[in-house]
Amino acid sequence: MKETVFVIMAKQPQVGKTKTRLYPALTPEEAIALSEAMILDTIEMAAALAEADLAVAITPPAARRYFKAITPLGTHLLPVEGEGMGDCLSQAIQEALRLGYRKVLALNSDGPTLPGEYLKQAALYLDQVELVLGPGYDGGYYLVGMKHMHAGIFDGISWSTDRVLSQTLERAQNAGLRAALTPPWYDVDTPDDLRRLQGDLAQLPVERAVHTRRCLSDLHLKSRLG
């Protein structure tokens, strides 16, 4: 058992509920395929880093069989549920700490080109601070890291808005917690994000984000998105 664990926050894709902001650029079925591909790439990226063990916080809890089939042997599956992202993050981080990990880094599952170096950097930052956040270009964050549970960090946050990061940093300051930020990155939520993803993949080695790359090729998105 290593001192650090990467916890991927992942929902089982469901038609009509997954990546709906990509409609109508994608059909509901195509959004499912893309979501599954991004989850697979995120799992493989995190699993390849020797610095940490791997866990997946799964929603809904009944999705255990689905995630067990797509995760490496030895992956911790942490069922979480709640009214919002704050509840799920709190449960996932608490459970990982309960397992005995000293540093917990929870990350989104829809940024398939996220550099693994950012996760390594976040783990190192936790040696000096109590909270690490990975800023998103949309005002949220793709990563949160803690060594102890600070549940108040997630209280009263306007989730799914451009104020998530600023409000979280404000909570940390009010609690007297030292915080550090990794470089910014993006989630794939909108057609513009898809265009950016296509541009990134064109510049990256072909072995990066292979599932997402294959999915986009199968969907012929280059001609559809312009």
pLDDT in single tens digits along all 226 residues of the chain? 999 999 999 999 999 999 999 999 999 999 999 999 999 999 999 999 998 999 999 999 999 999 999 999 999 999 998 878 999 999 999 999 999 999 999 999 999 999 999 999 999 999 999 999 999 999 999 999 999 999 889 999 999 999 999 999 999 999 999 999 999 999 999 999 999 999 999 999 999 999 999 999 988 766 566 5
* pLDDT for residue 84: 84
Query: Half-sphere exposure of residue 124, counting CA atoms within 13 Å on the CB side?
Result: 7
* pLDDT for residue 151: 80
Query: Half-sphere exposure of residue 23, counting CA atoms within 13 Å on the CB side?
Result: 10
* pLDDT for residue 125: 98
Cα angle vertex 20, ends 16, 21, to 5°?
170
Measured distance CA(5)–CA(162) in Å, rounded: 28
Copy the structure tokens of residue 122.
Answer: 């976040």
* pLDDT for residue 83: 76
Contacts 24+ apart (CB under 8 A), 163-166: 163/139, 164/136, 164/139, 164/140, 165/133, 165/135, 165/136, 165/139, 165/140, 165/141, 166/139
* Count of other CB atoms within 10 angstroms of residue 152: 13
Q: What is the pTM of this model?
A: 0.95
For each of the domains in the chain, give its residue range(s) and CATH number, in order of start: 4-225 (3.90.550.10)
Please tell me what DSSP assigns to residue 20: G
What three-state secondary structure class fits 128? Answer: coil
